Chain A
Amino acid sequence: MSQPDFSHDGIRTARGTAFRYLFMLCALLSILTTVAIVATLLIDAIDFFATVSPVEFLTGTRWSPTNDPVAFGVLPLISGTLIITLGSALVALPIGLLTAIYLSEYASERRRAYLKPALEVLAGVPTVVYGYFALVYVTPALDTILPLSTFNALSASIMVGIMIIPMVSSISEDAMSAVPDSLRQASYGLGATKFTVSTSVVVPAALSGIISSFILALSRAIGETMIVAIAAGQTPRMVDLTDPAGMFLDSIQPMTSAMVQIGTGDIVGQGAAYKSLFAVGLTLFVITFVMNLVSELVASRYREVYR
Chain B
Amino acid sequence: MTNRQMTSSETEQTDDQQPNPTPGTDSLADRGTDIGVETSSRDDPATVADRTIIESRDLDVYYGDDQALNGISMEIPEQQVTALIGPSGCGKSTFLRSINRMNDLIDIARVDGELFFREKNVYDDDVDPVALRRRIGMVFQSPNPFPKSIYDNVAYGLRVQGQDDNLDEKVHTALERAALLDEVEDQLDSSGLDLSGGQQQRLCIARAIAPDPEVILMDEPASALDPVATSKIEDLIEDLAEEYTVIIVTHNMQQAARISDKTAVFLTGGNLVEFDDTTKIFENPESDRVEDYITGKFG
Interface residues of A (CB under 8 A from B): 108-109, 180, 182-193, 196, 200-201, 204-205, 305-307
Contacts and interface: CB of A to CB of B under 8 A. Distances in A.
Given A182-B140, A201-B146, A307-B193, A190 B102 contact: no
B269 interface: no
A191 B207 contact: no
B211 interface: yes
B134 interface: yes
Nearest to A110: B107
A191 B131 contact: yes
Given A185-B102, A186-B138, 4 more contacts: A108-B107, A190-B138, A201-B146, A204-B147
B144 A191 contact: no
Contacts of A205: 146-147
A192 B130 CA distance: 6
A204 B191 CA distance: 14
A190 B156 contact: yes
Q: Looking at chain A's contact residues, is the secondary structure mostly helix, strand, loop, or mixed?
A: helix
A306 to B, nearest CB: 4
Contact of A189 (B131, B145, B191, B208): B208
Interface string B142-167: 10111110000000110011000000
Interface string B62-74: 0000000000000
B105 A188 contact: yes
- Top 6 closest A-B pairs, CB basis? A191-B134, A189-B138, A190-B157, A182-B144, A306-B147, A191-B133
Contact of B144 (A185, A196, A204, A305): A185
Pick the most buried of A186, A189, A307: most chain B CB atoms within 10 A of its CB: A189
Given A182-B142, A185-B102, A306-B193, A190 B147 contact: no
A186 B105 CA distance: 12
B204 interface: yes
Contacts of A306: 147, 193
B140 A191 contact: no
Interface of B: 100, 102, 105, 107, 130-134, 137-138, 140, 142, 144-148, 156-157, 160-161, 191, 193, 204, 207-208, 211
Contact of A191 (B142, B147, B161): B161
A186 B207 contact: yes
B140 A190 contact: no
B160 A196 contact: yes
B133 A188 contact: yes
A216 B72 CA distance: 53
A164 to B, nearest CB: 28
A186 B144 contact: yes
A205 B140 CA distance: 19
10 contacts: A109-B107, A182-B142, A185-B105, A186-B207, A187-B160, A189-B137, A189-B208, A190-B157, A192-B130, A200-B156
Given A182-B142, A183-B146, A201-B146, A190 B211 contact: yes
Given A185-B105, A190-B160, A305 B100 contact: no
A163 to B, nearest CB: 33
A191 B102 contact: no
Nearest to A189: B138
Contact of B160 (A182, A184, A191): A191
Contacts of B133: 188-191
A193 B208 contact: no
Contacts of A187: 146, 156, 160
Contacts of B191: 305
B147 A305 contact: yes
